[in-house]
Amino acid sequence: MADPKKPRPAFAPWDRRELPGAFDVEETARRVGNYKWVEMRLFEALGGWVATVPELDVKMRLGTHCYKHAWHSELWHKRLPELREMNPERLTLPANSAVEEFMEAITEPEGEDRTLEKLVGVYRVLIPHKIAAYTYHLNNTSTITDAPTIRSLKLILNDEFEDWRDGEMMIQSLIETEEEARRAADRQAQLESILVRAGGIAGPGSIGMPAPEEVTA
């Protein structure tokens, strides 16, 4: 019979989790603030397009996706006060000026004939970069100290993968000619080049690799 007075180890014998993650509290708060800002801007962009895109099937799907990103923003907002004792709004910022430039470029196409460019920016560039950054964060955070962040990441990643699939289906349904395929490729290259300068949605180190050169905020 086990001695009830004997101190027990912090974790069960089958649990070999390590306490420290790759990020301290300040770095986690910075990243979460960057994520929240991007999710808010994406919610606003998709919400605006719902009223303007002419394709009914695209309009309906964007309306569904739009509110997912609003919810993601709320999840990140709720994490900020727990991560650092300061006003969460002060942390809700783009990682740097190139990320801000990227989000502005995402919303540039306004014509009714530019639905393809709109979708490529979100579903072939932004969402894949979000998935990469969130997956890196998930794989490098502490299962002990950051359990709420891990839960948020898993819930959000599930949405992101579903939306990525939906977005690619919409894009492929719109590409019917070689010219449209070139338009999609050109748009993707244009936006990818901005995110390369940014270092990802959370700036240099978004997925753990050093940026080729520092990006000034």
**CATH number, residue 171:** 1.20.1260.10
Number of domains in the chain: 1
User: In this structure, is residue 214 part of a structural domain?
Assistant: no
User: In this structure, is residue 215 part of a structural domain?
Assistant: no
198 exposed, middle or buried (CB, 10 Å; 0-12, 13-18, 19+)? Answer: buried
Q: Length of the chain, please?
A: 217
Q: Is 98:202 a contact under the CB 8 Å cutoff?
A: no
User: In this structure, is residue 205 part of a structural domain?
Assistant: no
DSSP string, the chain: ---TTSPPPSS-TT----S--SS-HHHHHHHHHHHHHHHHHHHHHHHHHHTT---HHHHHHHHHHHHHHHHHHHHHHHHHHHH-SS-HHHH---SSHHHHHHHHHHT---STT-HHHHHHIIIIIIHHHHHHHHHHHHHTS-TTTTHHHHHHHHHHHHHHHHHHHHHHHHHHHH--SHHHHHHHHHHHHHHHHHHHHHTSTTSTTTTSPPPSSPPP-
Q: Give Cα separations from 29 to 82, 91, 163 (angstroms).
A: 9, 7, 26
User: In this structure, is residue 77 part of a structural domain?
Assistant: yes
User: In this structure, is residue 168 part of a structural domain?
Assistant: yes
User: In this structure, is residue 119 part of a structural domain?
Assistant: yes
Q: Which domain holds residue 37?
A: 25-198
User: In this structure, is residue 6 part of a structural domain?
Assistant: no
Predicted local distance difference test score (pLDDT) of residue 15: 47
User: Would you write out the chain's pLDDT as a tens digit for each of its 217 residues?
Assistant: 556 677 766 555 554 455 567 788 888 889 999 999 999 999 999 999 999 999 999 999 999 999 999 999 999 998 887 655 566 678 899 999 999 999 999 998 888 899 999 999 999 999 999 999 999 999 888 887 788 899 999 999 999 999 999 999 999 999 999 999 999 999 999 999 999 999 999 999 999 865 445 444 4
User: In this structure, is residue 165 part of a structural domain?
Assistant: yes
